[in-house]
């Protein structure tokens, strides 16, 4: 396992992060605990969760259960010091059944206190804003045609001030953003410089062979400002494994249990995925190795977040993430990217 700095925080995290979004819906408590045990045994010291999890699918009844499972593992093993723990404040509600909270001081403090109780801890290593308060491009959208600000939007300065106070209080060690844009990251950095507040440490955005939009604008921030990418969906919700090619939807898979997610339901995706699978086979690789190895090897990636519904799948994905791709495979990937540029933003 490789370990990389988390921004300028002084915290070091494994280059592979254990994602937990399915815990509480597709995985029960015992399965979640088994995944934590395996991840730690394989050198992973970084777990990512959120107050909104699980979402595959999520219901008001099981919302927050993912954090509960992590908390029960911590209590049973007295193991809080064994990993770097990241969670998220949901931000504004993004759809029916999805919780939301204002990103002002009362909203952030209330969300954090609930997460701390569920996680059975008194501090979070990395506290992230799951979605910006303002309207930003969402899954499948390519930028804004016009602004859609509302009086309910909380200014970034107010959010940052609240996060800074939580750092001072010792409730969080660092903070990051998620589903954020170059403008938003720039504002966080500007306000930190001008107001003497803590800097943003990381950007958790989608990044995969089917969605490399992070490279446009955000990658320069990551490299110049040490605000690295925590890459979620490096397998594009399982599509890049090839298991959905030909219209197949295996029972219990993400597409089977979470039909509300249509980010990858675009005409160009199956052809692009098939071409990436062919490249993998040409170099004696599994498609999962090509996809995860590509993300893990990018210079602006701090950690790639992998999730699994079984211990066996998790073990395979950890190994695949650490595969170093040959230069010729990277060149073949770039050829496909030129023909199918980011089909699933």
Q: Report pLDDT digits (tens) over 25-60.
A: 999 999 999 999 999 999 999 999 999 999 876 677
Residue 123 known to be catalytic: no
CA–CA separation, 208 and 282 (whole Å): 20
**Active-site position among 3, 53, 123, 276:** 53
Q: CATH number of the domain at 3-339, out of 3.20.20.100, 1.10.3720.10, 3.40.190.10, 3.40.50.720? A: 3.20.20.100
Give the domain ranges of the chain. 3-339
CA–CA separation, 291 and 233 (whole Å): 10
Per-residue b or e along 104-139, where b marks 16 or more CB atoms closer than 10 Å to that residue's CB:
bbebbbebbeebbebbbbebbbbbbbbbbbbebeee
pTM: 0.96
Q: Answer whether the bond into residue 57 is a cis peptide, omega within 30°.
A: yes
Identify whether the C-beta of residue 202 lies closer than 8 Å to the C-beta of residue 128.
yes
Q: Report pLDDT digits (tens) over 168-191.
A: 999 999 999 999 999 999 999 999
pLDDT reported for residue 312:
97
Answer yes or no: is pLDDT of 16 > 70: yes
From 40, 64, 61, select the one nearest 50 (Cα to Cα): 64
């Amino acid at each position: 396992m490789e370990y990389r700095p988390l921004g300028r925080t002084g915290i070091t995290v494994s280059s592979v992060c254990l994602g937990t979004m399915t815990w509480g819906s597709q995985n029960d408590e015992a399965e979640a605990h088994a995944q934590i045990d395996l991840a730690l045994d394989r050198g992973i010291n970084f777990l990512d969760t959120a107050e909104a999890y699980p979402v595959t699918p999520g219901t008001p009844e099981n919302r927050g259960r993912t954090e509960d499972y992590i908390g029960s593992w911590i209590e049973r093993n007295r193991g809080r010091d064994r990993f770097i723990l990241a969670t998220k404040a949901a931000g504004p509600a993004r759809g029916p059944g999805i919780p939301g909270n204002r990103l002002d001081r009362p909203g952030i403090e209330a969300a954090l206190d609930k997460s701390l109780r569920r996680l059975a801890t008194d501090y979070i290593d990395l506290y992230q804003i799951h979605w910006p308060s303002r309207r930003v491009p969402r899954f499948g959208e390519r930028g804004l045609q016009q602004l859609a600000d509302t009086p309910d939007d909380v200014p970034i300065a107010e959010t940052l001030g609240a996060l800074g106070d939580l750092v001072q209080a010792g409730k969080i060690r660092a903070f990051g953003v998620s589903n954020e844009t170059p403008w938003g990251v720039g504002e966080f950095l500007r306000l930190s410089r001008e107001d003497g507040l803590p800097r943003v440490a990381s950007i958790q955005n989608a990044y995969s062979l089917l969605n490399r939009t992070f490279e446009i604008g955000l990658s320069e921030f990551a490299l110049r400002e040490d605000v690295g990418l925590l890459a979620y969906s490096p397998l594009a919700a399982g599509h890049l494994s090839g298991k959905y090619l030909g219209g197949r939807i295996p029972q219990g898979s993400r597409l089977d249990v979470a039909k509300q997610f249509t980010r990858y339901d675009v005409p160009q995706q199956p052809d692009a995925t098939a071409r990436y699978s062919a490249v993998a086979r040409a170099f004696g690789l599994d498609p999962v190795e090509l996809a995860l190895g590509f993300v893990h090897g990018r210079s602006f990636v701090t950690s790639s977040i992998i999730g699994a519904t079984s211990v066996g799948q998790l073990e395979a994905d950890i190994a695949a993430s650490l595969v170093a791709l040959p230069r010729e495979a990277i060149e073949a990937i770039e050829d496909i990217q030129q023909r199918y540029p980011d089909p699933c933003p």
